[in-house]
Amino acid sequence: MSEQHITYRRLGRTGLRVSPLCLGTMNFGTATEEPEAHAIMDRALELGLNFFDTANTYGGGRTEEIVGRWLRGGAGRRDRVVLATKVYGGRDPWPNTSRLSARHIRAACEASLRRLQTDHIDLYQMHHVDRGTPWEEIWQAMDLLVAQGKVIYVGSSNFAAWHIVQANEHAHRRGSLGIVSEQSLYNLNARMVELEVLPACLASGVGVLPWSPLAGGLLGGALHEVGQGRRSSERQQAAIQANRSKLEAWEAFCAELGAPPAAVALAWLLANPAVTAPIVGPRTRDQLDGAMGALEVELGQRELEALDRIFPGPGGPAPEAYAW
């Protein structure tokens, strides 16, 4: 598969165009050593993926450093990549070294820019809601970073629907663009966001970036892998046993469709109009190539209804999901 097969999508209500899969880097520096991480990023560009996601806390900061060295290691790489990172967490227990105070937002941004070896972040995401900091303070800090050219767009992650709406109401009063994307836990086996987060994002022009689209590997052919004798963690084994009947029906469905389970799981997300780009976190180049198969899978109404029967959602958006 080459770059011309990619159909780029607008990120939420912005004019920014991103690839339909976002390269997640959380494994870089932990499960994936730096040479292979660099090879994965090379391959991502070769395949036409232009959207890379990381966070200041991944690998204790090492992940951003790995991405930064790769960005500086080749001419034109930074210009081709839509670079996203996050702010909220911190490993230092000292006050003001985590969360979303204006002081921490500014300090964390400067630290991420140093590690990433760049002068700007394309999408700066709040990694979690901070109920202890007023939105006026948060947007003052974000607006300053935008004015300084250090940040272009602001996103969120793990926000409830009302957090997204509230944040954007405060931003719009200031004349700011506000949140343009939301990273949420979303996959066939975790559909709670369909109640309120997805409808809120659709109504607000906020692009959804699902994380853990394969449910920690559960939707990637877990039964087959166990049957082939591959090692799995105790946690994954417990998840497999708890969901065995669903997974048996799921893997049989994918076999009938003639497509790898991981590709079908990603294709299901891409069929949702609220979703901009699932975040895939490959440990190897082969896993990245496998994820690209999602762009070749087409799911019609019959297939979508079959998947609803295997993995029932919450019943649609609220309040119809639980009321008349």
Instruction: Please give the positions annotated as active site.
Output: 58
Can you tell me the distance from the alpha carbon of 16 to that of 13, in angstroms, rounded to the nearest whole number? Answer: 9
Q: What beta strand segments (E) does the chain contain?
A: 9-10, 17-18, 22-24, 51-53, 82-87, 121-126, 151-157, 179-185, 207-211, 279-280
CA–CA distances in Å: residue 22 to residues 81, 208, 268, 313: 11, 11, 15, 24
Can you tell me the distance from the alpha carbon of 220 to that of 225, in angstroms, rounded to the nearest whole number? Answer: 9
At residue 314, the 3 state secondary structure works out as coil
Token reading at 197: 């987060």
**What's the first-to-final CA gap in the chain, in angstroms?**
47
At residue 152, the 3 state secondary structure works out as strand
Torsion of CA 224, 268, 178, 166, to 10 degrees: -90
Burial of 230 (0-12, 13-18, 19+ CB in 10 A): exposed
With CA atoms as reference, report the closest residue to 218 among 232, 197, 200, 205: 232
Cβ atoms 146, 155 nearer than 8 A? no
